[in-house]
Structure 1
Amino acid sequence: MKATYDGTWLWLGQDGLALYESGGYGRPGKGKLRLAPEEGLYLLVRKRIELPGYDFEKLLQELSKDPVFFRRYLVYRDLRERGYALQTGPHDFRVFRRGERPGKGQSYYLVRVLAERDLVDFACVAAEVETAGNMRKTYLIAAVDDEGELTYYEVKVDHLAGAEGEDPVGEGTARGEAFGPTGLVATGTAPWLLEEGYGKPFDQERTMLSPAEILYLMDEKRLTLTENGAPLTREAYQAVAAGADSEIVEKAVLYTDLRRRGYAPKTGYKFGHHFRVYGGGVKHSLLLAHALPAGTTLTMAAISRSVRLAHSVKKKMLFGSVHNNDIQYIEFARIKM
């Protein structure tokens, strides 16, 4: 069947409606079928349609005036060849379950297509995830690398339920001495620190606390600090800690939120992230969590490294976007389509 191209869409006549009925291609109306550019190029390659004056290379050249067309086409082709029917919009694609198609079922995924170096704005992603949720769809990012390989990520705004079996509120108090950003507490005076998952043994007599732990415990009125024998306020200590760690404010907000949900965060340095997170009496950490200031953007390549590492050690990867003293958790999980 022959198509026409108006510079934006490809069009088929009445005979093209069979493509919609059999495979969910295009959008019918007034006896015609309107094809999105990705659909038209795909059908042209498969010799399902003809476009006078165009072969694959010429049409691709024309459509590639849109600099992001080629990556979208790679995703469209991949999903079609995996047995999915899909249409463009409202993000990049709406994808139906296998065996369903437009007019014969509801779309299940909303897919955003990004290149490996594209910046991901976490606030924008969270808004798109919320939109997908309101539409009862699952939000995916399809990442396209420089060699045209595709990786699919399910993205969730994770509300992070409290950890089962954990009591987020303790009763013990302690006194410690600050040595720069590090705090030491006599273990014998506060054995509850190690019992509740705070700090680590410095030697047989002392427990060492990290800056995030210190700030949380000071906020909870469970720790007082001195420096050279003089009392040290929370504000003064944070200034010292910030001199050694420019991310301490966001890390402290994330640590506090996790603790108040019943989790026990510990440093995630060896995993390249702020915290590895324990909870529910589990001996191994369940999550990797990284605090991000509001307005942060990361490349898809950076997110991919984080997700791959987290999955390799059987953990979830959560980014905690900090807005004042609130946290919005965004989870990226690699999936197979």
Structure 2
Amino acid sequence: MKARIEDNKVLLGSEGYALYEQSGFGRPQKDGLRLSPVEALYLVYRGRIEIPGFDFDSLLVRFSEDAHMIRSFLVYRDIRERGYVVQTGPHDFRVFKRGEKPGKGESQYMVRVLSERDLIDFAVVQNEVKTTLNMRKQHVLAVVDDEFEITYYEVKIQKLPSLEVTPDPKPAVGILSSISVIITADADLGYDQAFYGKRLDEARIVLATVEATYLMEQGLVTIHLGEEILTPDGYCTLIRDSDPELDKKIAVYRHLRTLQYIPKTGYKFGHHFRVYSGRKIHSEMLVQAIDKGETLPMNSISRSVRMAHSVKKKMLFAGIHDEGIVFIEFARIKL
């Protein structure tokens, strides 16, 4: 079956309709079938069509003005050879359920193709996931590494439900030791039950900086500096130089506590927080705070997902936006 190139489009005559009817290739037109560059590459690669003057290598060069093309081809080929019908758009690809095709079924995945070195803008990801969700599909990233291996990630927006309200601890008085806050609190004040801080002895608890800030904001911890009371903003000013990520961590910590989750430091796992739901023994989530406009390279996200998977936790990135905090989950999947 012979095709031709016109204005960077690959066209087949009416005989091409069979490719669409049988396997979902291309888009039918009045006088034949229009193929996307990646579809044409695949069909030439498999010897199912011919384009005079081009073999696979020269056709790949012809379409390589798109620096994305080799990655797109590799992902397209991989998904096709897993038994799925694939069409281009509205992101990079839409993938139909196995055994289904255009006009006779519905798509299951919307796929975005990335390099391991691409920067992830969480605002962009959030908008794409919302679009996919509105279409009742699953949003998938197909990440091609520098050795051209492909890893698939499902990306979801996680709406954390509010948990059962637990009582606040009773007010306590603290002292400042450098940037650390130590409160006087025996067991009756409820700080142990609410999982704040680390007990120094039966009478004292040492608070993490984000915990101290939050408790000061709630009016539960008071620190006297001479005749004045240290304000939460004043405390943050004192400690901000020691933690450049303080503001975004406090914003996410505050939000999680408002929902009745228990965030504790995630340092041992290489992230901002490990998060407990209620009074469960083991944390269920790792959470990384992402400031407005912040980006992360995909290979960094990959490390985070692998770490979370190895310790049987969900990996959430808490994006701080004008409308509030949005939790985005990344998880490896097999198509």
What residue in structure 1 maps to residue 247 of structure 2? Answer: 249
Using a 3 Å threshold, how does the CA distance of structure 1 residues 253 and 324 change in structure 2: closer, same or farther? farther
What residue in structure 2 maps to residue 63 of structure 1? Answer: 63
1:271 and 2:275 matched: no
Q: CA deviation at 1:304?
A: 0.4
Q: Which secondary structure state, in structure 2, belongs to the residue aligned with residue 197 of structure 1? A: coil
Using a 3 Å threshold, how does the CA distance of structure 1 residues 17 and 59 change in structure 2: closer, same or farther? same
Distance in 1 (CA, whole Å) between partners of 2:235 and 2:256 is 21
Using a 3 Å threshold, how does the CA distance of structure 1 residues 188 and 325 change in structure 2: closer, same or farther? farther
Q: CA deviation at 1:292?
A: 1.1
Q: CA deviation at 1:31?
A: 3.1
Distance in 2 (CA, whole Å) between partners of 1:86 and 1:324 is 36
Distance in 2 (CA, whole Å) between partners of 1:324 and 1:46 is 49
Matches within 5 A, 1:31-50: 31-50=31-50
Q: CA deviation at 1:244?
A: 1.2
Q: CA deviation at 1:228?
A: 6.2
1:231 and 2:260 matched: no
What residue in structure 1 maps to residue 316 of structure 2? Answer: 318
Distance in 1 (CA, whole Å) between partners of 2:167 and 2:90 is 45
1:199 and 2:184 matched: no
Provide the TM-score with structure 1 as the length reference.
0.96
> Which is worse superposed, 270-279 or 221-230?
221-230
Q: CA deviation at 1:60?
A: 1.1
Distance in 2 (CA, whole Å) between partners of 1:263 and 1:310 is 18
CA contact (8 A) 2:275 2:285 kept: yes
Q: Which secondary structure state, in structure 2, belongs to the residue aligned with residue 130 of structure 1? A: helix
CA contact (8 A) 1:179 1:227 kept: no
Matching residue's letter, 1:4: R
Q: CA deviation at 1:247?
A: 1.1
1:114 and 2:114 matched: yes
Using a 3 Å threshold, how does the CA distance of structure 1 residues 63 and 300 change in structure 2: closer, same or farther? same
What residue in structure 1 maps to residue 16 of structure 2? Answer: 16
Q: Which secondary structure state, in structure 2, belongs to the residue aligned with residue 332 of structure 1? A: strand
Matching residue's letter, 2:3: A
Distance in 1 (CA, whole Å) between partners of 2:323 and 2:56 is 54
Using a 3 Å threshold, how does the CA distance of structure 1 residues 155 and 76 change in structure 2: closer, same or farther? same
Distance in 2 (CA, whole Å) between partners of 1:116 and 1:318 is 19
Matching residue's letter, 2:334: K
Residue deviations 1:265-306 (CA, integer Å, cap 9, x gap) = 000001111100011321000000111110011111011000
CA contact (8 A) 2:154 2:332 kept: yes
What residue in structure 2 maps to residue 150 of structure 1? Answer: 150
Distance in 2 (CA, whole Å) between partners of 1:224 and 1:77 is 62
Residue deviations 1:3-46 (CA, integer Å, cap 9, x gap) = 11124221111111001001000000103101111111111111
> How many equivalent pairs are there?
335
What residue in structure 2 maps to residue 92 of structure 1? Answer: 92
CA contact (8 A) 1:264 1:277 kept: yes
What residue in structure 2 maps to residue 173 of structure 1? Answer: 171
Q: CA deviation at 1:109?
A: 1.0
Using a 3 Å threshold, how does the CA distance of structure 1 residues 39 and 324 change in structure 2: closer, same or farther? closer
Matching residue's letter, 2:148: G
RMSD: 1.5
What residue in structure 1 maps to residue 306 of structure 2? Answer: 308
CA contact (8 A) 2:171 2:189 kept: no
Using a 3 Å threshold, how does the CA distance of structure 1 residues 183 and 325 change in structure 2: closer, same or farther? farther
Residue deviations 1:156-179 (CA, integer Å, cap 9, x gap) = 11111123xx42451511111112
What residue in structure 2 maps to residue 130 of structure 1? Answer: 130
CA contact (8 A) 1:168 1:259 kept: no
Structure 1: which 5+ runs fail to align? none
Q: Which secondary structure state, in structure 2, belongs to the residue aligned with residue 194 of structure 1? A: coil
Q: Which secondary structure state, in structure 2, belongs to the residue aligned with residue 161 of structure 1? A: coil
Distance in 1 (CA, whole Å) between partners of 2:49 and 2:277 is 57
Q: CA deviation at 1:227?
A: 4.0
What residue in structure 1 maps to residue 287 of structure 2? Answer: 289
Q: Which secondary structure state, in structure 1, belongs to the residue aligned with residue 186 of structure 2? A: helix
Aligned-pair identity (%): 50
CA contact (8 A) 2:286 2:316 kept: yes
CA contact (8 A) 1:168 1:263 kept: no
Distance in 2 (CA, whole Å) between partners of 1:59 and 1:216 is 60
Residue deviations 1:230-282 (CA, integer Å, cap 9, x gap) = 52111111111212111111111100111111111000001111100011321
Residue deviations 1:132-191 (CA, integer Å, cap 9, x gap) = 11111111111110111011111111111123xx42451511111112221111232764
Distance in 2 (CA, whole Å) between partners of 1:169 and 1:121 is 38
Q: Which secondary structure state, in structure 1, belongs to the residue aligned with residue 236 of structure 2? A: helix
